[in-house]
């Protein structure tokens, strides 16, 4: 990767992290309503994949969707406004944390139904194939989501129709409070996908470069008409399943240890500075800039215009009758 490419990737990684850290702080003040799932710890997956994508490429995300939105280019202030329920939010306050979408960025929505995005993203890939497009569609699904049957329906259909579709499985080891090992008959999630008849690889999702390389290969294959692939990327979840989760199922030490050993940001910084590609000054400048961007996003969210009751009726139909 080039210097500029890496600087851009670092900006994204830091933005994703800071967005979640700020969301967490603001959530605790009671400003943000709804079930809020933070992506902290898993940033290298979204960024590693989305750095290959343009606005024309489509993605569909999950309940833990802030990271995917930001990685796909959604404006952090417009997202924060959405978390606040403002009419200036990306979905005018109709969506909230679990339903952020920005069609102008090819972000077809975070989706609160586990696994549901996979079949829909197959449809996006189908539209690309039918219209002779070169764009691809990516769905993100959690490890827990791989136990949803329609994910395999989607995989099979994508294989049968040879669609430009990438299934990214985010393996954080947990589905809410249940360890995936207890509920997956085959813990090798890539093998499950491969059984549907497509290339499937497992990568270290803490390592931006590993994700980036695997995604690059899968996306290039899809673009040249080589059909779908699956990437299983494992990375920890630093916070609870949702904000307010007391995490009685794992110890503080365990989480602290994950933060020490499995944090994609120091991992990235260590490598690019050791290789002399980015300097400590450049990193610090990005950090300061992102902090400003997040301050601005939160300030805008707090001052954002509020919906009025009549807005309830808007946007149900293009035209009813």
Partner 1 sequence: MTIKSMRDALNEALHHEFERDPRVFLIGEDVGGFEKDGQPVEIGGVFGVSKGLYRKYGRKRVIDAPISEAAIIGAASGAALCGMRPIAEIMFADLTAVCFDQIVNQIAKFRYMFGGQCACPVVIRMTTGGGRNAGAQHSQTFYPIFTSFPGLKVVVPSNAYDAKGLLITAIRDEDPVIFFEPKVLYTEKCEVPDEAYAIPFGEAAMPREGEDVTLVAFGQSVNWAVQAADELRATRGIRCDVIDPRTPSPLDEETILESVAATGRLVVIDESPPRCGLTADVAALVADKGFRDLKAPIKTVTAPHTPVPQARELERAYLPNPRRIIAAVEEVLA
List contacts with Mg ion (CB under 5 A).
142-144, 172, 174
Nearer CB in complex with ligand TPP: 173/216:
173
Shortest Cβ 142–ligand TPP spacing (Å): 2
Taking CB atoms, the residue at the shortest distance from Mg ion is: 142
* Closest CB to partner 1 among residues 248, 316: 316
Beta-carbon neighbour count of residue 267 at 10 Å? 18
CB contact at 8 A, 104 and 121? no
What's the Cα-to-Cα distance from 78 to each of 6, 63, 296, rounded to whole Å? 25, 18, 11
| Cα–Cα distance, 223 to 79 (Å, whole number) | 29
With respect to ligand TPP, which residue has the nearer C-beta, 21 or 245?
245
Residue 273, both tokens: 């500075």
Q: Which residues of the chain form contacts with ligand TPP (CB under 6 A)?
A: 63-64, 112-114, 142-145, 170, 172, 174-176, 241
By beta-carbon proximity to ligand TPP, the closer residue of 241 and 300 is 241
- Nearest distance from residue 1's CB to ligand TPP, in Å? 27
Buried b (16+ CB within 10 A) or exposed e, 275-297: eeebeeebbeebbeebeebbeeb
Q: Helix axis angle, 117-130 relative to 149-160, nearest 10°? A: 10
The nearest distance, CB 232 to ligand TPP, in angstroms, is 12
Coil, helix or strand for 174? Answer: strand
Q: State the binding partner of 176 from partner 1, ligand TPP, Mg ion, none, CB within 5 to 8 A by kind.
A: ligand TPP
Q: Which is nearer to ligand TPP, 63 or 221 (CB)?
A: 63
d(CA 66, CA 23): 10
d(CA 306, CA 87): 6
Instruction: Name which of 105 and 241 has its Cβ closer to ligand TPP.
Output: 241
How far apart CA 84 and CA 87 sit, in angstroms, is: 9
Q: Name which of ligand TPP, partner 1, Mg ion, none residue 63 binds, using a CB cut-off of 5 to 8 Å depending on partner kind.
A: ligand TPP
Q: CA separation (Å) from 245 to 30, 71, 200, 282? A: 15, 25, 33, 36
Shortest approach of ligand TPP to residue 146 CB, angstroms? 7
| Residue nearest ligand TPP, CB atom distance | 142
Burial status of residue 226 (CB atoms within 10 A of its CB: 0-12, 13-18, 19 or more): middle
Name which of partner 1, ligand TPP, Mg ion, none residue 145 binds, using a CB cut-off of 5 to 8 Å depending on partner kind.
ligand TPP
Question: Based on CB atoms, which residue is closest to ligand TPP, 114 or 278?
Answer: 114
Q: Are 262 and 235 in contact (CB under 8 A)?
A: yes
Contact residues toward partner 1 (CB under 8 A) are: 58, 60, 89-95, 99, 101-103, 108-109, 111, 113, 116, 118-128, 130-131, 137, 149-150, 153-154, 156-157, 160-161, 314-321
Can you tell me whether residue 14 is helix, strand or coil?
helix
- Compute the least distance from the CB of residue 282 to ligand TPP, in Å: 31
Evaluate the CA torsion angle 279, 236, 171, 169 in order and state its sign: negative
| Residue 228, binding choice from Mg ion, ligand TPP, partner 1, none, Cβ under 5 to 8 Å by partner class | none
Please state, in angstroms and as integers, the Cα–Cα distance from residue 244 to each residue in 27, 36, 41, 66, 99, following that order: 9, 9, 17, 17, 19
Task: Select the binding partner of residue 203 from ligand TPP, Mg ion, partner 1, none (C-beta < 5 to 8 A, by kind).
Answer: none
Nearest approach in angstroms of CB 211 to ligand TPP is 16
Q: Residue 125 binds which one of partner 1, Mg ion, ligand TPP, none, with CB within 5 to 8 A depending on kind?
A: partner 1
Give the shortest CB-74-to-partner 1 separation in angstroms.
12
């Amino acid at each position: 990767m080039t210097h500029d490419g890496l600087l851009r990737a670092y900006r994204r990684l830091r933005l994703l992290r800071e967005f979640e850290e700020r969301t967490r702080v603001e959530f605790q003040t009671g400003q943000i309503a709804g079930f809020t799932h933070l992506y902290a710890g898993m940033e290298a997956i979204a960024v590693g994949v989305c750095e290959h994508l343009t606005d024309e490429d489509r993605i569909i995300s999950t309940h833990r969707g802030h990271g995917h939105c930001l990685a796909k280019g959604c404006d952090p202030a417009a997202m924060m406004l959405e978390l606040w329920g403002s009419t200036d939010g990306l979905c005018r306050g109709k969506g909230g944390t679990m339903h952020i979408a920005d069609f102008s960025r090819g972000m077809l929505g975070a989706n609160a139904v586990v696994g549901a995005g996979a079949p829909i993203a197959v449809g996006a890939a189908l539209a690309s194939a039918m219209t002779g497009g070169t764009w691809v569609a990516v769905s993100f699904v959690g490890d827990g989501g791989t136990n949803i049957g329609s994910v395999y329906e989607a995989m099979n259909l994508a294989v049968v129709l040879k669609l430009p579709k990438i299934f990214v499985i985010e393996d954080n080891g947990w589905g809410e409070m249940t360890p995936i090992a207890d509920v997956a008959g085959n813990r090798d999630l890539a093998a499950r996908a491969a059984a549907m008849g497509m290339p499937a690889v497992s990568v270290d999702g803490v390592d931006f470069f590993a994700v980036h390389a695997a995604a690059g290969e899968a996306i290039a294959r899809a673009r040249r008409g080589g059909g779908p692939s699956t990437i299983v990327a494992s990375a920890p979840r630093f916070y609870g399943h949702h904000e307010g989760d007391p995490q009685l199922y794992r110890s503080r030490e365990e989480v602290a240890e994950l933060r020490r050993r499995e944090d994609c940001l120091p991992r990235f910084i260590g490598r690019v500075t050791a290789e002399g590609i980015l300097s400590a000054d450049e990193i610090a400048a990005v950090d300061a800039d992102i902090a400003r961007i997040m301050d601005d996003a939160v300030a805008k969210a707090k001052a954002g215009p509020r919906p009025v009751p009549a807005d309830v009726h808007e946007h149900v139909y293009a035209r009813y009758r």
